[in-house]
Amino acid sequence: MLNISNNSISSKVDVNAYSSLKNVESKVTRKVLLRIIKWSAFVLFIVALLPWTQNVRSYGTITTLTPDQRPQEIQSVISGRIEEWKIKEGDFVVKGDTIAIISEIKDAYFDDDLLMRTENQLDLKKRSVESYGQKINAQDKQLVALTDRRDLESSKIRIKMQQVKLKIQNDSIAYQAAKMDNSVAQYQFQRMDSLYRKGLKSLVDLETRKLKAQQSVSKEIAAKNYWLNNQSELINLRIELNNIVAKYESDYAKTLSDKFGTETDKYDTESTVNKLENQYSNYEARQGFYVITAPQDGYITKLLIQGIGETIKEGAPLLSFMPKNHTVAVEVYVDPIDLPLMNIGEQVRLQFDGWPAIVFSGWPDAGYGTYGGKIYAVDQFISANGKYRVLVRQDENDHPWPEALRVGGGSKAMILLNDVPIYYELWRKINGFPPNFYTPQPPVKLEKK
């Protein structure tokens, strides 16, 4: 009946009497099975030839496009004590609105008149600088006066020296004349004595000539004495000139030293003035830090310091703050093996948490509930999780992203790559090969006619 054995019993059994045996013997099911297998293979062949968009799937979170639009913490620049809160969680604030008021906790700033006292000290030091400047001007005048007096006294002595030199020259001439007169008188006396001995001249003539000879000697000695006295006076004048120069040089050096000391005091006072000006500016700026204001328009999300009277340190966060105006973006992380496929401007399909979507991995255009994006930036260094961060912005040519998106929400991303047949994609998946590496072509610019 089943034709299992060589001993057939088909002639001994009525097949028509048994319906099940009749259906089996008719062999119709084998034809149906063959048809199913044939059409299935045909359908699979057609499906294998269909295009498939390669993609890199990743998970990420919603962020903002620029750093100044991301959630931030507001800190206190100085340490202080919380005196009053002007806001509560969830409030919307405008740039410059008061958030909190703090008071001073350092004893160096307890004085209520600190700015006024510092300003008075600054004014006094500035007056000291002016006084030192006037003193330096007076000392400059003293130096000029000393120089003029030295020049006048020196000129006076030099004139006297010129006069004495002329006297010396005159006395030298007079001395030479007296010397010649003495020589002539001695010669005449000798001649007169010779004539007196011969009896040609009287004794009176001899004595007269002798008197004249003595007078000529006296005149010679007097002329020499005048000459030597004038030379001595010239030496004295030279000594006096040196003493005057030395005296004025000493006075000049002393006055100049006093001037340098005054300039040093002036520079020290100017340095103190600069320090006081810096200190005054710091005190004045610190007065403005007692009021903590909003850096930009945004929302108060969470207070990190509670209550009134708590002390805070400088740089300690007070609250978390979310800017109002921000452009959302999505940051996703890709494996290093997929990094060469990431190019700026590459198309991305996004699915946001809380928004239902129907996603077909290989046919992104056939999906529903996904949103378009473009790669905006790719990190140049690896992140702590061993992957590279990719920043995705909204695609202007696609429908806009939901307005209700919040920073920090989750997102799934499909970074779209090449279009390949399905059989190729299956073969790549089985072998564990990465998607095709390619570089997108830049758009062609049309020339203007």
Task: For the beta carbon of residue 428, count every other beta carbon within 10 angstroms.
Answer: 16
Q: 157: closest CA among 234, 247, 227, 232? A: 234
Chain mean position to CA 199: 123
* Full-model pTM: 0.56
Chain segment 250-260, per-residue pLDDT in tens:
888 998 899 99
Q: What is the DSSP string of 119-175?
A: HHHHHHHHHHHHHHHHHHHHHHHHHHHHHHHHHHHHHHHHHHHHHHHHHHHHHHHHH
Chain segment 135-175, per-residue pLDDT in tens:
999 989 998 998 888 888 888 888 888 888 888 888 788 87
Beta carbons of 308 and 103 less than 8 angstroms apart? no
Residue recorded with tokens 């004045």 = 284
> What is the CATH T-level fold of the domain 114-283, as seen in this structure?
Helix Hairpins (1.10.287)
The secondary structure of residue 315, as a DSSP letter, is T
Which of 2.40.50.100, 3.30.420.40, 3.30.70.270, 3.40.50.10240 is the CATH number of 71-104+290-323?
A: 2.40.50.100
Chain segment 4-52, per-residue pLDDT in tens:
566 666 666 666 666 666 666 565 566 677 778 888 888 887 776 766 6
Beta carbons of 375 and 440 less than 8 angstroms apart? no
Beta carbons of 315 and 125 less than 8 angstroms apart? no
Chain segment 290-329, per-residue pLDDT in tens:
999 999 999 998 888 878 888 888 888 899 998 888 888 9
Domain 51-70+326-449 has CATH 2.40.30.170: yes
Residues 6+ apart with CB under 8 A from 275: none
- What are the sequence ranges of the domains in the chain? 1-48, 51-70+326-449, 71-104+290-323, 114-283
- Phi and psi at 268, nearest 5°, equal -60, -40
User: What is the total residue count of the chain?
Assistant: 449
> SS3 for 394?
strand
d(CA 146, CA 124): 33
